Amino acid sequence: MNSPTPALVTQRAARRLPRLPLLLLCAAYLLPGLFGRDPWRNADVTAFGQMVAMAEGRSSWWTPTLGGVSADPALLP
């Protein structure tokens, strides 16, 4: 039976990732949404709300609703 060998990684390669670039990226995404326009479109938030309602069992899988109201008009007129 072959036993696995540990990966040989240098200490320089195994150092922690810098946090500052990640925090700046998060701030660049969140701040315009707080003080300017929304970072998510209205349709994105509506779809997310419908998915959460279906996952929690508050909405039917065949006719998804959000707060008891259908978010989309009927497919056929």
Q: pLDDT, tens digit, for every residue of 38-74?
A: 666 677 778 888 888 889 988 888 888 777 777 666 6
Number of other residues whose CB lies within 10 A of the CB of residue 64: 16
Which helix (H) or strand (E) segment is 31 a member of?
helix 19-35
**Domain spans in the chain, listed from the N-terminal domain onward:** 19-55
Rounded Cα–Cα distance for residues 73 and 77 (Å): 9
Rounded Cα–Cα distance for residues 53 and 29 (Å): 26
Q: Report which of residues 35 and 74 the model is more confident about.
A: 35
Q: Report which of residues 25 and 73 the model is more confident about.
A: 25
Tokens of 4: 């696995």
DSSP 8-state code for residue 69 = B
